[in-house]
Chains A and B, each alone.
Chain A
Amino acid sequence: MGKTFSRPEALSDAHTHYCPGCTHGIVHRLVAEVIDELGIRGRTVGIAPVGCAVLAYNYFTCDFQEAAHGRAPAMATGIKRVRPDLMVFTYQGDGDLASIGMGEIVHAANRGEKFTTIFINNAIYGMTGGQMAPTTMPGQRATTAPAGRDVEKTGMPMRMCELLSSLATPGYIARETVLKPKYINKAKKAIKKAFEFQKENRCFSFVEIVSTCPTNWGMTPLDAMKWAEDTLLPYYPLGEFKTPDA
């Protein structure tokens, strides 16, 4: 019998350091599959964020650069402008992208930089131990919001897809999730589209993945999946927000 399931070539055989039940691993795999399917591994440069995915360069088998917290879109701009023939993607968490790196992502998107961003929204700072993120839900507890996020003092959670879609520059902006198998195929399709738009040199492309952080949410992986579906998805609706064709 032939092999029906194997590791994508773009993924290394290293053991990841992610917690059990964390969705980072699933998203890595989807990105790797897309890289394989498009046959671009030899001309791809990934950019790792600061956050739980900081070691992403160990898990992919293509060239990688490691950015500072939030600066990946500026770094991607530098790479893509001097080497337009390369395929460039950033992989960023919500603290990284929506907080410290808000300026970098908004301006890269607005310039229409031809790279792809994979944005992991787990509504919290994972790596540093569960502090509040710009995406943390109202009332959601975090170590720096022990009584739950107070929107009177901290504002409402930021919706990056909606915000980026408001820019007049053409782009591909989509939000998907990997919380259940039924969502995973759609997430992969969006990631593939994003890379294809880059390959065709058409536009900036951005895929947000609503994710979990069982460790810092203080939940079992299953409870985390359920909580995310019940609480995050109503506020962070899935779908395509913008395409270059529209």
Chain B
Amino acid sequence: MAKVLMKGNEAIGEAAIRAGCKNYFAYPITPQSEVAEYLAKRMPEVDGVFVQGESEVAVGYMIFGAAGCGERVMTTSSSPGISLMSEALSYIAGARCPAVFVNIMRGGPGLGGILPSQGDYFQATKGGGHGDYRLLVMAPEGVQEAVEMTMKAFNLAEKYRGPVMILGDGLIGQMMEPVEFPENFDTTPTNKDDWATSGMDTRKSDKKNIVKSLFLDPKALNDHNLLLKSNYERMKQEEILYEGYNTDADYKVLIVSYGTMSRVCKTAIDTMKAQGLEIGMIRPQTLFPFPEKAVHEAAVKASCSHVVSIELNMGQMVEDVDRCVKGQRPVTWYGECGGDIPTPEEIIDHVKSLLNN
């Protein structure tokens, strides 16, 4: 297929349809409302479902109910909306239902602002909702990757029977870029007979299916949570994605950065390279599972004297980076947390200041 120029939010909506998702529930919030506007028009064209819920709280459960039937479902929102959906995220994870959540992050806490942010890293990767669960979290750096990750998310959600989150930011949602949609994509949901509430008539056996997260017996809850844990361990074996940038060079500083911020870092790295200064970068594409080994190995390279996590927040991923570096190099944070995005020049200045210390 030829490339088309699309706005990030609209491309995410189109990607969902191409991944076989005919069911979309959402509530408007800047900077992701265009997904809902796009799908309000597109879903009827493909005989799909679009419902604008009365709140993100309700939307979370519309997704839960639909996912419980074994259908492909998606919602999109932005930070304060995701907070409201976090209740449902916890229940969906507990009930082991596949669903795709897209968070086009804006600044917080509270109402914060409407400009790009990566302030929901903790919320996405460490919980958000209550209880012992994880989300598989993917962070695209632009519109093309947002499309690919969104499509892939449906298969991963089904593979692990749990919610998958695409963590973008306001810039990715709002910018226009040329995109190409992967073709020959597997759009059939995997067999749900064993668990989905699709109606007993649709099954060969007379078994009723129950979608629930309640396990009053402590032993049963323990076993259930260990099953969830084994899924998360499997993700760590099979789903880690990252990109190394200029990592073949003998870099002096290693940057760890993801999403929109990492693109600015790439420009800064290219500029410094032209000036004769080698800087490397690891760009996690999955934030959970986190590319722990890759970050560690890149950090301890002999030429590298410092590791810096560059993020659009007050320093969240830096805690994971620090955990991976295990004290072998100094790890610091640099970034903006109000909605502005550091320029390549600012990054260059900061990286050079690290080397002068």
Contacts and interface: CB of A to CB of B under 8 A. Distances in A.
Interface residues of B, number: 39
Interface string A49-83: 00000110100111111111001101111110111
Contacts of A64: 197, 208-212
Given A63-B208, A71-B58, A82 B199 contact: no
Given A67-B61, A74-B61, A81 B66 contact: yes
Contact of B62 (A43, A62, A77, A86): A77
A86 B198 CA distance: 8
A61 B208 contact: yes
Interface in A120-142: none
B23 interface: yes
B232 interface: no
A107 B68 CA distance: 21
Given A41-B200, A61-B208, A68 B65 contact: no
A78 B57 contact: no
Interface in B91-128: 91, 95
A196 interface: no
B64 A75 contact: yes
Interface stretch (B48-56, B145-153, B276-284): B48-56
Interface string B181-206: 00000000000000001111100000
Contact of B200 (A42, A76, A82, A85): A42
A104 interface: yes
B54 A107 contact: yes
Contacts of B213: 66
Contacts of B67: 78
Contacts of B66: 78-79, 81-82
A141 B241 CA distance: 59
19 contacts: A42-B199, A47-B65, A61-B208, A62-B208, A63-B199, A65-B65, A65-B68, A66-B213, A67-B64, A67-B91, A68-B87, A72-B61, A79-B68, A82-B22, A82-B49, A82-B73, A85-B199, A103-B58, A107-B54
Contacts of A194: none
A66 B25 contact: no
B332 to A, nearest CB: 41
Given A75-B65, A77-B65, A45 B197 contact: yes
Nearest to B64: A75
A243 interface: no
Nearest to A79: B65
Given A41-B200, A74-B53, A82-B49, A66 B214 contact: yes
B212 A65 contact: yes
A99 interface: no
A107 B62 CA distance: 12
A216 interface: no
A107 B57 CA distance: 12
